[in-house]
Amino acid sequence: MESAVKNKKKYPFGFYVCSLCFTLERMAFYSSKWLIGIFIVASVASGGLGLKDADGAKMISYLVAFTYFTPIFGGYIADRWLSPRLCVPIGTIIMGLGYMCGWQASVQSSVTFVWLMITLVAIGTGFFKGNISGINGRLFDNKEDLDGAFSVQYSFVNVGAFIGTTFVSFIAYSTIGFGGSFLICGILLFLDTAWFVIGGKASFGDVGKKPFKIDEGDLISDNKEKNAVKVPLTKKEKLRVGAIILVTLFSIVFWVVYYLMAMPILYHWGPDFDYANKASWMIGNFAVPSSWFDSLNSLSCILLGPVLAMVWGKLAKSPKGDLSMFKKTALGMLLLGASFAVMALAEVVRGEGQVSLMWIIMFGVLMSLGEMVFSPLGNSFISKFSPPKVLGVMMGVWPIAIFVASFTTGHLYEFTLKYSFAPVYAILGAIVAVCGIVLWSLDKKLNKLVED
């Protein structure tokens, strides 16, 4: 958050309106992601639905997957038909109604309401996520400020995720249970709607009043792009597209394994509700909720972000220069593989006893570090090397890869339940590490493909 303080004077108030909207939305989303996972499998006596672990894992994976898929359609609508400033509150209201369905799922012990919640949250995210970033970006006259601004926005996102998983989930764990917690998530989204509408009137000016493509400059740009599309790709451009697709395939492997990481915390070791017989992470007399694993992830991103920025900066100034895009991507995969090795070792060490919190913290920080090295590179890589005439398509490839990975994770977790825990997770860690080694070894060849 240091950069937010440093650059505060040059950021318009509307930027903070949009960023705080993200904070409130992420508070609700990350809370509900954990709530769904526990609610589905907790016993009926504990207020849950009493279904299998695999059912909870698949529902979480569907929720995450479709929130990466629907923004494509929400962005298309805001480009051509509806005002982005109308799309965003439509999205927050739909998401709020979705979380209200989660509340009713608890009241009525209904799986149908859970599916309805997942559907509405996914649709609402489609209207919200890309369009609020689009508004935020257009608030800046100096486009050189955008990198720093969106870095600060990412901090707002992580603060929301941290608060949601740490405090909202604690309320569920200790006092009001599932239904009341889903209700809080819904209220957060309705507050988000009011904040956006009132704050936007005071700070957005004309930004976002009309669909993005209605702007005359955009229409001229569109016509140029349409004419450019008619020109075939050159050999170099085809090689760059191939490199982007190859890295995207590696990213699918990364995200499939990454999203699988949370499942053992929820179901194999987690102390929540009727899982208390499997492990009990105690701090004094307090049992640590499994949702705090997500809190650890968010906190790691907040604290380690400036450290990584400093490391990359020092490398860039060194005689050898910074690591290439491909080596950084490979390093992220190696770190994720190492975190799975730690997870498998923790299972072996615990035997029939408990898993120490120190093991959880160790592989949680490793996982977060791998994410921070790997995740930000995709859009940057595509922006730098994609041929302009297919930039839109290539920018859509990265989130679709995450959609495929998220959708697959629940089914993969169901498959792993057939085998012993430690060997399976060791093999998964080895697979993603080998992919990292292969990508590192291909660095020179891939750089030749994309560089002029």
Taking only the tens place, the pLDDT of each residue in 256-280 is 888 887 777 766 676 555 444 455 5
* Lowest-confidence pick of 57-71, 74-88, 198-212, 259-273: 259-273
- 171 and 238 part of one domain: no
Instruction: Kindly give the residue spans of alpha helices, DSSP state H, lying in 175-215.
Output: 177-203
In degrees rounded to 5, what are phi and psi of residue 323? -65, 145
Look at 353 and 392; give whichever has higher pLDDT: 353
pLDDT of residue 92: 95
- 165 and 243 part of one domain: no
Assign 430 a pLDDT band (cuts: 50, 70, 90).
very high
pLDDT tens digits for range 315-341:
878 887 777 778 888 898 999 999 999
- 86 and 139 part of one domain: yes
> What's the rounded Cα separation, in Å, for the pair 98 and 126?
13
Q: Is the pLDDT of residue 25 over 90?
A: yes
- 213 and 248 part of one domain: no
Helix, strand or coil, per DSSP, at residue 112? helix
Among 36, 29, 34, CA closest to 59: 36
- 195 and 304 part of one domain: no
User: In the predicted model, what is the mean pLDDT of residues 416-424?
Assistant: 87
Look at 189 and 138; give whichever has higher pLDDT: 189
User: In the predicted model, what is the mean pLDDT of residues 35-43?
Assistant: 81
Q: Is the pLDDT of residue 115 over 90?
A: yes
User: In the predicted model, what is the mean pLDDT of residues 220-229?
Assistant: 51
Range of the domain at 212: 1-230
Q: Which of 230, 255, 284 is the last residue of a domain?
A: 230
- 138 and 240 part of one domain: no
Where do the DSSP E strands lie in 206-261?
none
Assign 118 a pLDDT band (cuts: 50, 70, 90).
very high
- 165 and 264 part of one domain: no
pLDDT of residue 186: 94
Displacement of CA 404 from its chain's centroid (Å): 14
> What's the rounded Cα separation, in Å, for the pair 102 and 178?
8
pLDDT of residue 306: 75
- 66 and 111 part of one domain: yes
Displacement of CA 357 from its chain's centroid (Å): 24
Q: Which of 170, 204, 230 is the last residue of a domain?
A: 230
- 3 and 134 part of one domain: yes
Of 136-140, 259-263, 419-423, which has the strongest mean pLDDT?
A: 419-423
* Lowest-confidence pick of 70-74, 168-172, 216-220, 304-308: 216-220
Q: Is the pLDDT of residue 113 over 50?
A: yes
> What's the rounded Cα separation, in Å, for the pair 107 and 307?
45
Assign 452 a pLDDT band (cuts: 50, 70, 90).
low
Phi-psi region of 208 (alpha: psi -120 to 50; beta: other; left: phi over 0): left
Burial label for 249, CB within 10 Å (0-12, 13-18, 19+), is exposed
pLDDT of residue 421: 84
In degrees rounded to 5, what are phi and psi of residue 370? -60, -40
- 253 and 192 part of one domain: no
Look at 63 and 75; give whichever has higher pLDDT: 63
> What's the rounded Cα separation, in Å, for the pair 295 and 293?
5
pLDDT of residue 379: 59
Domain total of the chain: 2
pLDDT of residue 246: 83
CATH number reported for the structural domain that contains residue 186 in this entry? 1.20.1250.20
- 327 and 427 part of one domain: yes
Angle of CA points 316, 317, 323, to nearest 5°: 25
Kindly report the length of the chain.
452
- 278 and 220 part of one domain: no
Q: Which residues contact 139 (CB under 8 A, 6 or more apart)?
A: 12, 14, 15, 18, 203, 204, 207
